[in-house]
Amino acid sequence: MALVVFRDETATGRALAEFSLPDLPERISARELVRLRVREEVARYNAAPSQHFRGLVKPTDAESELNGYRMRTARRLDWEKQADAAEAAFARNGFLLLIGDRQIEDLDTQIHLTTDPVLSFVKLVPLVGG
């Protein structure tokens, strides 16, 4: 089993935020990793909904702000809608996914987490989900 670090970065490589998930398979697709990341951040938010959401995809009816999104009302989010929006955003270059020193260009790419345990997400445009 492997530990993976999900890191948000600026286009210049400055780390903005990060969290890790343990006990992941040693080999997994980029798609599964993106969906795991979104599911985890939505689960953390849903455990204590508030006016602020920090995640890869902007929820519907939220406003962008520094380091996250301001929710108009605290509500539960649907992780699957957020994950679908993240996949769509990846397809239209809404964010870059970097593993070590290489850019992932296809979500079906298999990643060896024991070799490359840090995934960097670089947002290029605001991402909107559910």
Check residue 44 and give its pLDDT: 95
CA–CA distance, 56 with 7 (Å, rounded to integer):
10
Beta bridge partners of 71: 62
CA dihedral 83→85→90→92, nearest 10 degrees, is: 170
pLDDT by residue (tens digit) across 87-109?
999 999 989 999 988 999 999 99
Check residue 111 and give its pLDDT: 94
Q: Where are the domains of the chain?
A: 2-123
Alpha-carbon distances of 96 from 44, 50, 113, 123, rounded to whole Å: 23, 28, 18, 7
Digit-by-digit pLDDT tens for the chain (130 residues) are: 899 999 999 888 888 899 999 999 999 999 999 999 999 999 999 999 999 999 998 898 899 887 789 999 899 999 999 999 999 999 999 899 999 889 999 999 999 998 889 999 998 755 555 5
The amino acid sitting at 19 is F
Beta bridge partners of 102: 99
Check residue 84 and give its pLDDT: 96
Check residue 125 and give its pLDDT: 57
